[in-house]
């Protein structure tokens, strides 16, 4: 049943015209391998720091507050070792997303109650609803594909990641 639902979601998302080219948005400075973090909170804060250091945020504290508010609404652990924390926030200057492969799995509330090894964090300006939906749809379309996800988890260089997003 779950496999059929994923296929239907993939077909639906594939046919949506708003899906953006994810590869165009992929920024090397936001892709990290063997990322060290012991907790969900530490991971979120370190990724927010990374986004801030690279000029994507105008107000780090506001964005962090909005990410935690979103986390409080519903867990962003999607299952299969993946979490997608995200927020539309007045603290975001420029839309971005991070791809973070953790050094070791961490506890994260998820649909399958499994720990997380891969985090994709989305940051979108508060007034950019269509861009947010487009980014989320584009990533979702790719992530429901088992082969894509396996290749992403196995990636060890930024070049590997670019190739996967071809």
Residue-level pLDDT, tens digit, the chain, 166 residues: 444 444 444 554 444 433 346 667 778 999 999 999 999 999 999 999 999 999 999 999 999 999 999 999 988 998 899 999 999 999 999 989 899 999 999 999 988 999 999 999 999 999 876 766 677 777 777 888 889 889 989 999 989 988 887 7
Q: Alpha helix locations (H) across the chain?
A: 2-14, 22-25, 40-53, 60-73, 129-143, 146-154, 158-164
The CATH architecture that domain 2-164 belongs to is 3-Layer(aba) Sandwich (3.40)
C-alpha span between 71 and 67 (Å, rounded): 6
Contacts of 83 (CB under 8 A, 6+ apart): 40, 76, 77, 108, 110, 116, 118, 119, 120
pTM of the predicted model as reported, rounded to 2 decimal places:
0.81
């Amino acid at each position: 049943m779950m496999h059929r639902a994923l296929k239907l979601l993939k077909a639906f998302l594939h046919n949506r015209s708003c899906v953006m080219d994810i590869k165009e948005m992929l920024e090397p400075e936001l892709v990290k391998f063997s990322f060290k973090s012991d907790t969900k909170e530490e991971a979120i804060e370190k990724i927010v720091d990374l986004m801030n250091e690279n000029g994507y945020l105008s107000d780090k504290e506001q964005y962090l507050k909005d990410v935690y508010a979103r986390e409080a609404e519903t867990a962003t652990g999607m299952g299969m070792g993946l979490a997608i924390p995200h927020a539309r926030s007045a603290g975001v200057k420029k839309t971005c997303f991070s791809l973070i492969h953790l050094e070791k799995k961490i506890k994260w509330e998820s649909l399958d109650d499994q720990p997380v090894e891969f985090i994709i964090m989305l940051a979108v300006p508060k007034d950019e609803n269509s861009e947010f939906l487009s980014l989320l749809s584009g990533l979702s379309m790719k992530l429901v594909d088992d082969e894509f996800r396996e290749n992403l988890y196995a990636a060890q260089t930024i070049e590997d990641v670019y190739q996967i997003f071809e």
